[in-house]
């Protein structure tokens, strides 16, 4: 009986170590590829990050994407790359995630965004949409009485 238990434990350990090895090996290859992509890039190609003061909105963020933002922003920042800027804001809303999800769907569709991915689950939702001027990524989750919303806008 003890020998069988030892065999089972050994098998579980071998499978577990094999899974860890595969996960580590899988993540190393993309990192090596990424390291080789920009070997000739200049220092000016590094993204520049600018943070707004707490409670303020970064100027490059489109204000019309603040649906349900009845609280001050928790954080807002912009990452500027050589050819574009991504602006992000995080805020709390007293609306639940389902209500915000539907409001964002209506807004995006009425503003000619193509919905590439959207999911709505009990208490959380996400949307990814694009149009000719930019990409919008939204994540929201309800925790108690507030819904935490993160909206990113990538200007084209």
pLDDT, tens only, 59-84: 999 999 998 877 678 999 999 999 99
Structure confidence at residue 44 as a pLDDT band (50, 70, 90)? low
pLDDT, tens only, 122-138: 889 999 999 999 999 99
Counting the structural domains of the chain, the total is 2
- List helix spans (H) across 38-47: none
pLDDT value at position 7? 52
Question: Residue 123: which domain range?
Answer: 46-155
Q: Do 32 and 102 have their domain in common?
A: no
Q: Do 63 and 18 have their domain in common?
A: no
pLDDT at 36 over 60: no
d(CA 148, CA 7): 48
Q: Do 60 and 121 have their domain in common?
A: yes
Q: Do 28 and 58 have their domain in common?
A: no
Residues 91-100: what's their mean pLDDT? 91
- DSSP state, residue 54: T
List CB contacts of 58: < 8 A, sequence separation 6 or more.
Answer: 50, 51, 52, 76, 77, 78, 87, 88, 89
pLDDT, mean over the chain: 79
- In order of 5, 21, 22, 25, the CA distances from 11 in angstroms are 10, 15, 17, 21
């Amino acid at each position: 009986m003890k020998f069988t238990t030892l065999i089972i434990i050994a098998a579980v350990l071998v499978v577990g170590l094999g899974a860890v090895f595969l996960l580590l090996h899988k993540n190393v290859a993309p990192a090596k590829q990424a390291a080789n992509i920009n070997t000739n890039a200049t220092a000016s190609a590094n993204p520049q990050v600018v943070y707004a003061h707490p409670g303020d909105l970064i100027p490059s963020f489109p204000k019309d994407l603040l649906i349900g933002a009845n609280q001050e922003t928790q954080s807002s920042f912009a990452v500027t790359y050589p050819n574009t800027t991504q602006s992000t804001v995080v805020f709390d809303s007293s609306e639940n995630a389902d209500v915000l999800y539907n409001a964002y769907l209506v807004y995006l569709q009425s503003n000619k965004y193509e919905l590439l991915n959207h999911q709505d689950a009990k208490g959380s939702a996400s949307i990814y949409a694009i149009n000719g001027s930019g990409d919008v990524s939204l994540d929201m989750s309800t925790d108690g009485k507030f819904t935490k919303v993160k909206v990113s806008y990538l200007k084209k």
